Amino acid sequence: MRSASLWMCVWPGLPRLWRDGNASSLGIAVAFTLLINLALVATVVMPGVLAPTPLSLLWMATIGFWIVSAWNSHKWVVRTRRLSKRPGFDQLFVQAQSEYLKGHWLEAETLLKQLLEQSDRDVDAHLLLASVYRRSNRRADAICQLDLLSRLERAGKWGLEIEQERQLLQRIDNNNEIETISKVA
């Protein structure tokens, strides 16, 4: 598995596209495909369409694009692997989840913040933290957390849950307004 993920770095954008479904990585992969196909067609299928200088520049751009993208993909794979192998990385989330289910909001928040210090793009931790804030009556913090979560690339898989959290917050606001009106009346 280790070498397989490194081999995926050969095609620009493929590792992040494969693992995360990252849209910008899809753009990188498609751009490279177009660039390499254009260079191959201009060289093999229709030689002479481009003068030697533009053809050389096209190949240099293609090779440069490939080297930079492959290097960035390699760095991303290594960083992702290192993060996932940190001792206790997954355990922190499991502990936070356990504290959440027990209703220990402060303990769950502390563990989730530790986890987010290690990986600030952990969508699951952001969503659980938003829920912790909602349950501990910290509406503004919950909304801020959901807004931050919505901007993360991998948040798409949790779109329904994010919307449900927003609806729960709105329902709480509506109940508070009704209570305020009934107290005044």
Least confident of 25-39, 49-63, 73-87: 73-87
pTM of the model: 0.53
Q: Write out pLDDT tens, residues 132-166.
A: 999 998 888 998 888 888 888 777 778 888 889 88
Residue type, 183: K
Tokens of 13: 């954008």
The dihedrals phi and psi of 88, each to the nearest 5 degrees, come to 85, 0
Helix (H) or strand (E) holding 27: helix 23-40
Cβ atoms of 94 and 112 closer than 8 Å: no
SS (H, E, C) 106-122: HHHHHHHHHHHHHCCCC
- Domain ranges within the chain, ordered by starting residue: 2-84, 89-184
Rg of the chain (C-alpha set): 24
CA angle 129, 135, 136 (to 5 degrees): 90
- What pLDDT shows up at residue 1? 42
Residue type, 4: A
Q: Write out pLDDT tens, residues 93-141.
A: 889 999 999 999 999 999 999 888 877 778 888 999 999 999 998 888 9
Cβ atoms of 59 and 39 closer than 8 Å: yes
Q: Residue with structure tokens 């986890």? A: 115
**Reduced to 3 states, what is the DSSP secondary structure of residue 105?**
helix
How far is it, in rounded angstroms, from Cα 158 to Cα 142? 15
Q: Which fold has domain 89-184?
A: 1.25.40
- What pLDDT shows up at residue 79? 76
Q: How many other C-beta atoms can be found within 10 angstroms of the C-beta atom of residue 130?
A: 27
